[in-house]
Amino acid sequence: MSTHKVAAIQMSSAADVVTNLREAGKLMAKAAAQGAELMVLPENFALMAKSDAERVAAGELDGSGTIQDFLADKARHLRTWIVGGTLPVLAGNGKVYARSPVYNPQGERAGYYDKIHLFDVQVNTAGESYRESARTEPGRRAVVVDTPLGKLGLSVCYDLRFPELFRALAAQGATLFAVPSAFTRTTGEVHWQLLNRARAVENLAFVIAAAQTGHHTNGRETFGHSMVVDPWGEILAERDAEPGVVTAVMDTAQQARLRARFPVLSHRQLV
């Protein structure tokens, strides 16, 4: 089968895990009803914490906990692949990993990625700034997971600005990328679509970008506009600023023909 339906789930998560999981469950059921074989949740889908300390306090042990159990159960119940956005997993040093786990339709964790590039930036001159590294431990490895839809390269939000990560994933055979995100409204308006399309074109890969949206109880405002991009950089489907589900069909046979006709990956030279 060369065509597969995928979904990006867009949320406006709050600072309460129970509420967020309930909302995520509704949207995941909707995506499954639309035939999604793989769905991607946004960054911080289960908790948009009000403080770093709150986020660390919600950290789970590797492989078990309310959020991870929820994802495993939903994958098994809905019979679909799930990229679990990100959730806090204890790093053992007063920090957490921003972990993006992948579950197969049997409810088994097939792999996970810990966010490498941490968001330590001053977004604008009005004082909007972030220091994610204060309580988050960075990941150290690029991760690709084998799925029936192709080799899935994992990334998170700020990673989009680092094309070398996506090249490393492509070198491992990735044909599609998951990009769970919580892009700020400020940066999203100018860079979100551009970066997702660029990573798709550079690697002749599909991009499934699931975003947070709207005003959150922790004071953040995120951009939304979850999307699915094809290997030629065309946006197959895009959400507006409302929470919900965006689905699209990936044609992997067409992708293979494109990669054969336009072999930029094999033409790349390191100088």
Q: 209: buried, middle or exposed (CB in 10 Å: 19+, 13-18, 0-12)?
A: buried
Distance in angstroms (rounded) separating the CA atoms of residues 64 and 110: 14
CA 70 to chain CA centroid, nearest Å: 17
Quick check: helix, strand or coil at residue 223? strand
Q: Out of 5, 23, 37, 43, which one is annotated catalytic?
A: 43
Q: Out of 74, 115, 132, 137, which one is annotated catalytic?
A: 115
Query: Do 8 and 259 contact (CB within 8 A), yes or no?
Result: no
Quickly tell me which residue has 């890969």 as its tokens.
205
Is 132 one of the annotated active-site residues of the chain? Answer: no
Quick check: helix, strand or coil at residue 53? helix
Query: Do 197 and 209 contact (CB within 8 A), yes or no?
Result: no
Q: Terminal CA-to-CA distance of the chain, rounded, Å?
A: 39
Backbone angles phi, psi at 58, to 5 degrees: -85, 0
Is 115 one of the annotated active-site residues of the chain? Answer: yes
Backbone angles phi, psi at 185, to 5 degrees: -60, -40
Query: Do 193 and 227 contact (CB within 8 A), yes or no?
Result: yes
Is 37 one of the annotated active-site residues of the chain? Answer: no
Distance in angstroms (rounded) separating the CA atoms of residues 134 and 127: 18
Query: Do 94 and 66 contact (CB within 8 A), yes or no?
Result: no
Q: 77: buried, middle or exposed (CB in 10 Å: 19+, 13-18, 0-12)?
A: middle
Active centre residues (catalytic): 43, 115, 157
